[in-house]
Chain A
């Protein structure tokens, strides 16, 4: 149990286009979803926190108009990279906390590798 499904697992897009990444909690309600990104050879950095039904909270240095986060339901959160540029190429991963994991642990999606050409 406590599975987060993330799609797509990889995507290549042209510079200037937009890409949408979806994260679905399959067997629990994710009131809060966290979005991270990981540049090559670096660790994961929190981008934003999204709560169902409200606006996402972005970390310093993350452009909210570029990285649009929607969390309209308790089982779906989306991250849209708008007008993507090569420097947006990264590994994006979502996670949710749930009481279904003992100790209120976190479950992560499988990640999306975005390459902007």
Chain B
């Protein structure tokens, strides 16, 4: 059974810092991995989707990497801003059309 963990559980940084969020999964046979953002009381916003054959994806200040063999992904946020404050969720899918298994999330606070 796939299990996803995320470290750290919570992170508080001053504005402008670069930061890294970590995600680990136990079964390396994944189809894709997706990073989401969730604001308090709100739904999910998809940030980056990485296919199992890819090693990284970039969007603006965000960069996500994937090392499928070691079961790890990182989300790098450059020049953090207070607006980046949210919970970041990592999720993996085992095959096309299958559901996601979510990690517990990292709660990020960027202080002005």
B41 touches A113 (CB 8 A): yes
Interface SS of chain B: helix, strand, loop or mixed?
strand
Nearest opposing residue in chain B for A46, CB measure = B99
Contact assessment for B96 and A43 in the assembled complex, using a CB-CB cutoff below 8 Å: no
Interface of A is mostly: strand
Query: How many cross-chain pairs have Cβ atoms below 8 Å apart between A and B?
Result: 57
- What is the bound-complex CA distance between A103 and B46, given in angstroms? 13
Is A104 touching B97 in the complex (CB atoms < 8 A)? yes
Q: How far is the CA of A91 from the CA of B102 in the complex (A)?
A: 15
Q: Does B61 contact A (CB under 8 A)?
A: no
The complex places the Cα of A110 from the Cα of B93 at a distance, in Å, of 20
* Closest partner residue, chain A, to B57 (CB atom): A103
> Given the interface contacts A43-B105, A97-B97, does A105 sit within 8 Å of B43 by beta carbon?
no
Given A110-B43, A111-B43, A113-B41, CB of A105 within 8 Å of CB of B49: yes
Report Cα–Cα, A101/B48, bound state, in Å. Answer: 12
Inside 8 A of A44's CB, which chain B residues have their CB? Answer: 44, 89, 91, 100, 102
Q: Are the CB atoms of B32 and A104 closer together than 8 Å?
A: yes
The interface size of chain B toward A, counting residues with CB under 8 Å, comes to 23
CA distance A104 to B101 in the complex (A): 16
Residues 1 to 60 of chain B near chain A (Cβ within 8 Å): 31-32, 34, 36, 41-44, 46, 49, 51
Can you name 17 extra interface pairs (CB under 8 A) apart from A42-B104, A105-B32?
A: A43-B102, A44-B91, A44-B102, A46-B100, A95-B99, A97-B96, A101-B49, A104-B31, A104-B32, A104-B96, A104-B97, A105-B34, A106-B34, A106-B93, A108-B46, A110-B42, A111-B42
| A interface residues, Cβ below 8 angstroms from B | 6, 32, 34, 36, 42-46, 49, 91, 93, 95, 97, 101-111, 113
A-B contact list, 10 entries, CB within 8 Å = A43-B105, A44-B91, A49-B99, A102-B49, A103-B49, A104-B31, A104-B32, A106-B34, A108-B43, A110-B43
